[in-house]
Amino acid sequence: MIYSMLMALRLPLLLAMLVLPLSAQAMSLDELNAQLSQTAKLSGRFVQERYLKDLDTTLESHGRFDYVRGKEVHWHLEKPVEEELTLDKQGIHRDGQPIDDDPSGVARLILQLMDGNLQALDDRFRISLEGDKDAWQALLIPRQPGLANYIDAVRLSGGRLLDRVQMNMHDGDRLTVLLDAESTAAKATDADAP
């Protein structure tokens, strides 16, 4: 009897799944890549929270960011101190000077995240994705031992744009960046491609 009831429900459930609006269905990694890579330039404000486990405290900083797809992310920290950071394919630069300490290529990782180039990260992370084009979340778990010695997990979330990045470090520290993009987001064109 239970088997016949389940079989009777099978067709209506299948039809219901087929007629659900696309936004209610889970987004694929390819779809998220395509959505995020549409933005060529982006500017806005950010709040960065850094939890330091050893001190059991959270440090908060504020500032502005400018992003150019495939090239760089420029952070202008305004509070609590003034500082300029640029992350590009060559690494991290503080106030125009290169920083030698870029564990596990964090600058490249952040640039790839901002570029929406999750497929490039697929060899370094196991990626799970939930949600749809309007509200998605991605969890990245390191595959490589060297990276796993530094980062436990990266959590991303957003809608049309990436708006939250959380990196859980192996030592218990945590970095959370909230991005509030302004309406200056420019659409990517083939000429903008890296």
Quickly count: other Cβ atoms within 10 Å of residue 44's Cβ.
17
What is the residue-averaged pLDDT of the chain? 78
3-state secondary structure of 189: coil
Q: Which helix (H) or strand (E) holds 59?
A: strand 57-68
User: And the tokens for 135?
Assistant: 């509200």
Between 52 and 194, the higher pLDDT residue: 52
Mean pLDDT of 37-65: 93
Looking at residue 190, its pLDDT comes to 43
Q: Is the pLDDT of residue 133 over 50?
A: yes
Between 32 and 107, the higher pLDDT residue: 32
Percent of the chain surpassing pLDDT 90: 37
d(C-alpha 51, C-alpha 60), whole Å: 9
Looking at residue 2, its pLDDT comes to 35
The pLDDT confidence band at residue 48, using thresholds 50, 70 and 90, is very high
Between 106 and 115, the higher pLDDT residue: 115
Q: Is the pLDDT of residue 192 over 60?
A: no
Q: Is the pLDDT of residue 148 over 60?
A: yes
The pLDDT confidence band at residue 1, using thresholds 50, 70 and 90, is very low
Q: What is the CATH number of domain 29-184?
A: 2.50.20.10
In terms of Cα–Cα distance, which of 167, 186, 163 is closest to 175? 167
Domain ranges of the chain: 29-184
Looking at residue 25, its pLDDT comes to 54
Percent of the chain surpassing pLDDT 70: 78
d(C-alpha 145, C-alpha 42), whole Å: 33
Q: Express each pLDDT in 15-45 by its tens digit.
A: 333 333 333 457 888 888 888 888 888 899 9
pTM: predicted TM-score of the whole model, two decimal places: 0.74
